[in-house]
Structure 1
Amino acid sequence: MLRSLNIRDMLIIDQLELAFQPGLNVLTGETGAGKSILLDSLGFVLGWRGRAELVRQGAAQGEVTACFDIPIGHPVMAVLEEAGIPAEDELILRRVNTRDGRKTAWVNDRRVSGEVLRALSDRLIELHGQHDDRGLLNARGHRQMLDAYGGLEGDVAQLAKAWQALGAARQALDAAETRIAEIRTEEEYLRHAVAELDALAPEPGEEAALDTKRRMMQAAEKIRTDIAKAGEALGLQGAEGLISDASRWLQGAAAQAEGQLDAPLNAIERVMTPLDEAQQGIEACLDALSFNPAELEDVEERLFAIRGLARKHNVLADELSAFADDLRTRLSVLDDSTDGLQKLKAALVAAEEAYDHKAARLSKGRAKAAKALDAAMAAELAPLKMERAVFATDIAASTPGPEGVDEVAFQVATNPGAPAGPLNKIASGGELSRFLLALKVCLTGTKGGLTMIFDEIDRGVGGATADAVGRRLVALASDGQVLVVTHSPQVAALGQHHWRVEKRQTTAETTSTVVPLDDDARVDEIARMLSGDVVTDAAKAAALELIRS
């Protein structure tokens, strides 16, 4: 609910603060007094597109602040959460317009974009009137309105999920077919490459091992001679023989040396063990260097084959095994394509059937809701002196989408036999206002938590018809808040809260203000609306009678 509106330096308003109430709030005043300026200012703080020049002459900037009471679970909470603004039971919107045209907005002291303001306004305010291109006259929203009227939101949500699943199934099949087509173009290459790699069967690390072995074989003859000489130098004909002789000679002399040779003998004994290990290592190396010349050819042939395949496929030699696995995987996709595609096609058919079933059920629900809405509209139009008019909810086939296969448009014919067409193309100003009011009365139970504004929706009607319009506005306001700008005394008399818009002129400037009316002032204002500039006693009596009726 809109609780207050504070306007500073906007158009011809210098400073104005309005405190609105639940129920039917009526704003009246002479033509040109500035009623439209209030709506322009409210639209400005809500992010609506309107006049370009809004700052009052002589002021540096204009500012509008709107305060709303927000109940728990209000739809605006989702917008606040998405924008990262803490949700509270009070929502304060403030927007400033500087003289050079820059606009800045805040929501609960958090700076926001105009887009966030408009998202909030869609859930806070509904404006209805002859230029209602944001609401009931916008055919793009008729399907959603019908769904809300028929309580079909759950079916729409289920259908949206089915549409998403259908899209995923189509995408999966398309991706598989595209991949298979791509692989099929290189099938011959894949099969040849896999056969070639399987025949060679290279292992990770094998190339380095073969290279080491090859180099060792190539150098074997040269290094084998030196290693054999070293073995001889360490053997019985060399160091081992000399050390053994030395040990034998020292042991023979040790008995007469009174212990002086014990340490040398122990040292010689310790030397013998590593010397033996050295000899064993040399013998092992000599055995390793003993090879068949044909073996070198075999090693070189495999090494060159591995390196050749690596160059051919532009991968490292150690990656050939993994590369072969990848090629086999791609081939398996092709080899298993028949079964895989059949499964994906079956999944697509199932998704299509699920979507079609839910879409058909939703279409049936919409047809039922349309019939009920048309009947409700017929009942509403009669008291508004439009009993001969026809309202019809037209449902036509549309391209399938997340919201179904139906295109919905509200059509009217002002007289029996006359061609039907869109609301704003067929109805005159007064008829359009009554159509919109009747439609809003029928739809109001499906969308709560909004403040509804009706801008001269009673234009072109009077008498009993104006009274009927006013009583429907009262009904709309019974569980919420309605603001109506009106020139009709019958409508104004039914208001629960009444303000008069006045224009004040001095030699220096013209300003507009809004005055709350008490009971006596309200009688005078409605009398003025009945009689004109000169308010007579008879007009006051008539005004009092309207208020009491």
Structure 2
Amino acid sequence: MLRELRIQGLGVIDDALLGLSPGLNVVTGETGAGKTMVVQGLGLLLGGRSDAGLVRGGADKAFVEGIVELRRDHPAVIRAREAGAEVEDELILARTVSGQGRSRAHIGGRTAPVGVLSELGELLVAVHGQADQWRLQRPEQHRVMLDDFGGKPIASALAAYRKLHQDWQDARSELAELTERARDRAQRLDLLTSALADIERVDPVSGEDVELAAESEKLTHADGLREGAGVAHDLLAGDDDNDDAPHVIDLVARARHALGGLVAHDAELAGLDGRLRELGVLAADIAGDLASYLADLEIDPARMERVQQRRAELTALLRKYGESIDDVLVWGKGAAAEAAELAGSDDRIEALRVRLDELEPQLDAAAEKLSKARRTAARKLQKAVTEELGHLAMGSAKLTVEVSGDPAHRGAHGIDEVEILLAANAGAAPRSVAKAASGGELSRVMLALEVVTATGSVPTFVFDEVDAGVGGAAALDIGARLAQLAEHAQVIVVTHLAQVAAYADRQLVVHKSSDGHVTASGVTAVDGDERLAELARMLGGVSDSAAAREHAQELLDGASRASA
């Protein structure tokens, strides 16, 4: 609920603090005291349009702040947190309008766009003023009100329809995309098929490009490799064609021979001899390996040609499909999967067409079931609201809830358009309710709708001059209906009728004082004798009239009995 509302520098209000309670809160006061400024302040707080003309003369700015108590899972709390607000057990909203018309909004202590205030406003408060009947002015809200009133039959039918509608919409979207891109898919499939044929023809092996590059390098330098390896071999093991040429193995043997008779006399020299022996063995091993290398070294021009040809084939693949043959193989695997998917698109298109043929009659049947549930609820709603209007000084009025369905228009909410129509007088043709009623009548129509459809989804309702143009027993009925609505939600009412104010759980009086130059307004909660005096003033224009006070007491007693 809205626990507290502070207004500063707005219109005739200098500084006012409204402490609000659960149930029915009424705002009363003399004409011109600023009662409507309370509703105007609420409008600003909930994202209404700002105007520099609202700023009180002599003030730099107008300021409105509200404290709202909400459960932590309420949609308004979730939206406020999305906007960066800090929310614990209460949500603090604020709006400032400068004398130049600039506006700033704060939510939970954080600056926020005014648009977020508007979003929160629709979740928190339903304002029904003389010129602010947004729920009646928006056609989609007519459907929302009817669906809420219809309860479980509409809810279950709508859920079933939405499930089928989503499936149908998904199938249509996928079919449209596949059909629209058929040419692109065919071209892509041709490219992939050709590329896969290239790869299959070459049939590369993982790592083959690296191995062939090494072999090509070896074959290109085969003569030099043979000559160098031959020289190295001869230096190590000797040249068969030149027995006198020195070589490592012979030199090492001669060195060991020189030490042969001496190693027994010196351990250090024996160690050196051992190392010479190892050197001789190593030189012999290397010489043997060089001999094997020379024997295996191939100088085959035909092999060189085959290697170069294979490398050219692989290079052609690398230019198109990857940095290495391994990359080419990975690309080919992905291309094969994509080609298989594209090749199956025609099958998918046919399957989607079959699916749509199955879904459409199911969807039409679900839409008709939903429409039937809405028409049934519409008859009940229009009857209940028309009866309520009879208690709200609109006995000649008749409300009609029109449900018109177009099977060709399958929207997310069904095929129906819902419009609330009103014949304000007997014999008058029904017209859109927002056009057929005056401001006060609109508030009463909205009150009747809220009483009949009350679900508790909106925490607070505000009615401005809902009793305009009525009095007597009709005013008592309006007060009783407001009290009935207040059993499910917080209700704030601006009224000039004591018959309505008598039903309040809390009565707030807007009073004014004047020094001849500036008028200031304040708001105080009244109870006991003060409330009795205010009701008496509302009845007879004076607060100390014995007759008026007696009548006021009768109103309070009657309201108490009616609410018991």
TM range (shorter): 0.7 to 0.9
1:200 offset after TM fit, Å? 1.0
- 1:211, 1:303 within 8 Å by CA — same for their partners in 2? yes
State how 1:33-432 maps to structure 2 within 5 Å.
33-71=33-71, 74-151=74-151, 152-153=154-155, 156=158, 159-160=161-162, 162-177=164-179, 181-237=183-239, 239=247, 242-243=250-251, 246=254, 254=261, 266-311=274-319, 313=320, 315-318=322-325, 319-345=327-353, 356=364, 358-397=366-405, 399-415=409-425, 417-432=427-442
Question: What SS does the corresponding residue of 1:508 show, helix, strand or coil?
Answer: coil
Letter aligned with residue 269 of structure 1: R
| C-alpha contact (below 8 Å) 2:27/2:509 kept by paired residues | yes
Q: Percent identity, aligned pairs only?
A: 34
Question: 1:243 Cα shift?
Answer: 4.4
Alpha-carbon contact 1:148-1:447 (below 8 Å) kept: no
What does the per-residue CA deviation read over 1:49-106, in whole Å, with 9 as the maximum and x for residues that have no partner? 2433333222333322323333575453333443454543333333333434444444
Q: 1:458 aligns with which of 464, 467, 489?
A: 467
Pair 1:17 & 2:17 matched: yes
Distance change in 2, residues 1:22/1:186 (3 Å): closer
Q: Is residue 371–residue 405 contact of structure 2 (8 Å, CA) maintained in 1?
A: no
8 Å Cα contact 1:9-1:15 kept in structure 2:
yes
Q: Is the 8 A contact 2:126 2:458 kept in 1?
A: no
Q: Distance in 2 between matches of 1:225 and 1:517?
A: 119
SS in 2 for 1:452: strand
Change (3 A) 1:269 1:504: same
Q: Tell me the CA shift for residue 343 of structure 1.
A: 4.4
SS of structure 1 residue aligned to 2:134 = coil
Whether the aligned pair in 2 keeps the contact of 1:30 and 1:502 (CA below 8 Å) is yes
Which residue type is aligned with residue 405 of structure 2?
A
Tell whether the 8 Å contact from 1:367 to 1:395 is kept in structure 2 after alignment.
yes
Distance 1:284 1:174, change over 3 A: farther
Q: 1:363-401 CA distances to partner (integer Å, 9 max, x unpaired)?
A: 333222212212212322333354443212111236333
- Measured in 2, the distance between the counterparts of 1:110 and 1:257 equals 96
Distance 1:89 1:204, change over 3 A: same
Alpha-carbon distance in structure 2 between the residues aligned to 1:94 and 1:86: 13
Conserved 8 A contact 1:527-1:535 = yes
Name 2:481's counterpart in structure 1.
Answer: 472
Where 1:136 maps in the other structure, the secondary structure is helix
- The Cα of 1:362 is off from its aligned counterpart by 3.1
Tell me how far 1:294 sits from its aligned partner.
1.0
- Tell me by how many angstroms 1:532 deviates: 5.1
Q: In angstroms, what is the RMSD of aligned CA positions?
A: 3.5
Post-superposition shift, 1:305?
2.3
TM-score with structure 2 setting the length = 0.84
- Farther-moved stretch of structure 1 (347-356 vs 125-134): 347-356
Secondary structure of the residue aligned to 2:7 is: strand
**Aligned CA distance change for structure 1 residues 246 and 389 (closer, same or farther; 3 Å):** same
For 2:220 and 2:89, locate their aligned partners in 1 and report how far apart those are by CA, in whole Å.
Answer: 89
Question: Which of structure 1's runs of 4+ aligned residues deviate more than 6 A?
Answer: 533-536
Residues 129 and 222 (structure 1), Cα distance of their counterparts in 2 relative to 1, 3 Å cut: closer
Q: Take 1:250 and 1:436, find their aligned partners in 2: how far apart are those partners?
A: 126
Q: Given that residues 158 and 370 in structure 2 are in contact (C-alpha distance below 8 angstroms), is that contact kept between their aligned partners in structure 1? A: yes
- TM-score normalised over the length of structure 1: 0.86
Q: Which moved more, 1:83-92 or 1:116-125?
A: 83-92
Deviation string for 1:434-467 (max 9, x for gaps)?
A: 32222221112x2345222211111122333223
Return the alpha-carbon distance in structure 2 between the equivalents of residues 190 and 123 of structure 1: 54
1:100-121, Cα deviation, whole Å (9 max, x unpaired): 4444444444444423333332
Whole-angstrom distance in 2 between the partners of 1:33 and 1:57: 15
**Counterparts of 2:4 and 2:311, CA distance in 1:** 88
**Cα–Cα, structure 1 residues 406 and 277, in superposed 2: closer, same or farther, change >3 Å?**
farther
- Alignment equivalent of 1:507, drawn from 516, 522, 535: 516
Q: What code does the residue aligned with 2:332 have?
A: A
The answer to whether the 8 A contact 1:143-1:408 is kept is yes
Tell me by how many angstroms 1:40 deviates.
1.4
**2:487 pairs with 1:485:** no
- Relative to structure 1, is the Cα distance of residues 478 and 264 closer, same or farther in structure 2, using a 3 angstrom cutoff? closer
Task: Determine if contact 2:48/2:118 at 8 Å carries over to the other structure.
Answer: yes
1:257 and 1:322 mapped to 2: Cα distance?
66
Task: State the one-letter code of the partner of 1:365.
Answer: A
Counterparts in 2 of 1:469 and 1:271: CA distance versus 1, 3 Å: same
| 1:15 shift after superposition | 1.9
Is the contact between residue 237 and residue 250 of structure 2 (CA under 8 Å) also seen in structure 1?
no
Change (3 A) 1:137 1:520: farther
Q: Tell me how many residue pairs correspond in the alignment.
A: 545
CA distance in 1, matches of 2:264, 2:462: 128
Cα separation, partners in 2 of 1:265 and 1:460, compared to 1, 3 Å: closer
Question: Tell me, which stretches of 5 or more residues in structure 2 are unaligned?
Answer: 240-245, 559-564
| Residue pair 2:256, 2:273 contacting (<8 A) in 1 also | no
Question: The residue matched to 1:424 in structure 2 has which SS?
Answer: helix
Q: Distance in 2 between matches of 1:416 and 1:153?
A: 34
Amino acid at match of 1:221: D
**Preserved contact between residue 45 and residue 65 of structure 2 (Cα < 8 Å):** yes
For residues 504-546 of structure 1, the C-alpha deviation after alignment (integer angstroms, 9 at most, x for no partner) is 2213312223344445554554454445579866555554544
Q: Structure 1 unaligned runs (5+)?
A: none
1:43–1:50 Cα contact (<8 Å) kept: no
* Distance in 2 (alpha carbons) for counterparts of 1:244 and 1:484: 119
Cα distance, 1:150 vs. partner?
1.4
- CA, structure 1 residues 20+206, in 2 after alignment: closer, same or farther (shift >3 Å)? same
Equivalent-residue separation in structure 2 for 1:75 and 1:231 (angstroms): 90
SS of 2:516 mapped into structure 1: coil
